[in-house]
Structure 1
Amino acid sequence: MTKALLTFCVLAALQATAAAQNGTGTPLACFYCKTGQSCHPAPQTCSPPQDACIIVREHNTLGAENSGTYQSCANSRQNLTGFLAFYFGATVAVEIQSEICKTDDCNAESTPSRLPISSIRNGLQCPACYAPGFESCESDGALHCTGGANRCADVVGMLAQGGVAIPFAARGCATQAACGIKMLESGVFTYKLTKVQCSPAPQAQPSSATRTLAWDPFTLGSIVPWASLFLSALLGLFLC
């Protein structure tokens, strides 16, 4: 029994070490950077159980239009990949694209890619509201869902940036992948969600008062790297 347990422990240790290595058997190295923060000039060596490099691109309109990229080592078993989105109102949206790769410095990218906010209706609708600084919000009308957002989401959590965090509550349309978030380090904010309740979005009612996500596609996204600007942008939404 003792010998079997020892063998299991040795195998587990070897697997953990292998998980942090690239195809050549040497430790995997990934580029580390987050928009608005200092970046490492050289790839950083990953540690077990990190077995991949990750790049996360974000575009949101949470108070201001923000775009950014996050790059780092990652555990491929614990990171969401692909596209996810929340739409909380006519001008309040979050779209995030996450990718992983498993070769040295494969997540290097010098210029953040800007994701487009979807504006094509999909025939569904959800109650919508967005309340930075609060832990609950009441819908002030239905929102036409767009793109692949086919779930109604009720969300409570924290937005963090530059060591400053603010609570928020929101309701709206979401993609299925967004419904699985608990904590996400993204290109602009760090999302720490304590509540994410999702349900299938119903068909839009022609007679209901609905709003469609609207934005100016010719306005360039601005990056807000300072905590003071971040808070003023968010707090301005509910102080006005």
Structure 2
Amino acid sequence: MYMLIKTYCCETDMCNSETLELPDPEERELNGMKCPSCYSFTSDQCQSKKTVSCRNNEDRCFYYGGSISLGDTKLKAAARGCTTAYMCNFISGTDIAFRNYSVLTTRAGCSIAKHSVYEL
């Protein structure tokens, strides 16, 4: 599984109407680093039994656990894998609420990726 998030900050009227371009996942280059990998859509925890190879500027290993609510539907989720330093700053303790959608963080953390497997 691969998820890419791109953000852009602006301060003028209608500046957020532009569509952000995302890189082609197939063109991302391996950087020699690895992280523990797992995901769950039934719990806010997952145990890593495999590793994932990091790419481009992904130099951190992350762990995220929380819940996603949409109206009356609530789903627990957890994931481990590679990320960037920017995303580590973003995920630690971030809760999001918008209309009837919310994301509640229950567990989050990052560590520096290594050329060998680094357990969180």
For residue 183 of structure 1, what is the amino acid of its counterpart?
D
**Map of 2:105 onto structure 1:** 193
Distance 1:175 1:185 in 2: 24
Contact 1:157 1:193 in 2 (8 A): yes
Contact 1:128 1:170 in 2 (8 A): yes
For structure 1, the 5+ residue unaligned runs are: 1-91, 206-240
Contact 1:127 1:143 in 2 (8 A): yes
- Which structure's residues are more often strand, by fraction? 2
**Map of 1:153 onto structure 2:** 62
For structure 2, the 5+ residue unaligned runs are: none
Change (3 A) 1:106 1:119: closer
Contact 1:144 1:204 in 2 (8 A): no
Q: Which structure has the higher relative contact order (CA within 8 Å, separation 6+)?
A: 2
**Map of 1:115 onto structure 2:** 22
Distance 1:113 1:101 in 2: 13
Larger radius of gyration: 1
Distance 1:124 1:169 in 2: 21
In the TM superposition, what is the alpha-carbon distance from 1:102 to its structure 2 partner?
1.8
Per the alignment, in what secondary structure is the counterpart of residue 3 of structure 2? strand
Contact 2:44 2:67 in 1 (8 A): no
User: Cα RMSD between the aligned structures?
Assistant: 2.5
* Identity in percent: 31
Query: Given the alignment of the two structures, is residue 183 of structure 1 paired with residue 92 of structure 2, yes or no?
Result: no
Aligned pairs, number: 109
TM-score (norm 1): 0.40
Distance 1:200 1:123 in 2: 13
